[in-house]
Amino acid sequence: MMLKIPAVLSPGQVAQVRGLIESAEGWVDGLATAGWQGAPVKRNHQMDEQAPAARAAQRIILAALETNPTFISAALPHAVYPPMFNRYGAGQTFGAHVDGAVRLNPQTGAQMRTDVSATLFLNDPDDYDGGELQVIDTFATHGVKLAAGDLVLYPATSLHQVTPVTRGVRLASFFWVQSMIRDDARRELAFDLDSAIQRLSRTGGDDAARTALVGCYHNLLRMWAQT
| Same domain flag for 168 and 200 | no
CA distances from 95 to 30, 161, 188 (A): 13, 5, 27
CA distances from 209 to 191, 204, 216 (A): 18, 11, 11
| Same domain flag for 101 and 162 | yes
| Same domain flag for 103 and 142 | yes
| Same domain flag for 123 and 13 | yes
| C-alpha 89: how far from chain center | 21
| Same domain flag for 86 and 112 | yes
The answer to whether 95 and 197 are in contact (CB under 8 A) is: no
| Same domain flag for 208 and 117 | no
Give the CATH number of the domain where residue 106 resides: 2.60.120.620
Give the CATH number of the domain where residue 194 resides: 4.10.860.20
| Same domain flag for 93 and 196 | no
Give me the mean pLDDT over the 74-100 stretch. 97
Asked if pLDDT for residue 216 goes beyond 80, the answer is yes
| Same domain flag for 72 and 27 | yes
Dist. CA 119–CA 122, nearest whole Å = 9
| Same domain flag for 109 and 168 | yes
Using DSSP's 3-state secondary structure scheme, residue 61 falls into helix
Predicted confidence (pLDDT) per residue in 115-132, tens digit: 999 999 999 999 999 999
Overall residue count recorded for the chain in this entry: 227
Predicted confidence (pLDDT) per residue in 16-55, tens digit: 999 999 988 889 998 877 767 777 899 999 999 999 999 9
Asked if pLDDT for residue 153 goes beyond 90, the answer is yes
Domain span including residue 52 = 3-179
What is the number of domains present in the chain? 2
| Same domain flag for 175 and 191 | no
| Same domain flag for 84 and 8 | yes
Using DSSP's 3-state secondary structure scheme, residue 181 falls into coil
Using DSSP's 3-state secondary structure scheme, residue 99 falls into coil
Of the CA atoms within 13 Å of residue 174, those in its CB half-sphere come to 19
| Same domain flag for 19 and 121 | yes
Considering only CA atoms, which of 205, 174, 162, 222 is closest in space to residue 54? 174
Q: What is the DSSP secondary-structure string of 179-221? A: ESS--HHHHHHHHHHHHHHHHHHHHT--HHHHHHHHHHHHHHH
